[in-house]
Amino acid sequence: MINTVVTWIQARMVRQDGQDLIEYALLSGLIAFAIIAVGTAALATPLGNMFTGIGNCIDFDGLNCT
């Protein structure tokens, strides 16, 4: 998918002036995606537990609120 996009962009570029900028933008986008994917996977359980705790306190029964 990414190779297709890069090939499409390079095919439309007549000059080579902006090629480095596009490569850096694609690389930074890939790095940002990887950081978000790893962060989401690492924080999924703690965030789920936090929201469950908040939901238990909002139920107004007060039995499971810690």
- pLDDT string in tens for the chain (66-residue length): 778 887 877 777 656 666 678 889 999 999 999 999 998 888 889 989 988 888 877 766 656 565
Domain boundaries, the chain: 38-66
Query: According to the model, what pLDDT value does residue 66 have?
Result: 59
Instruction: Name the amino acid, one letter, at 13.
Output: M
pTM over the 0.75 mark: no
Work out the angle between the directed axes of helices 2-12 and 19-58 (0-180°, nearest 10).
140
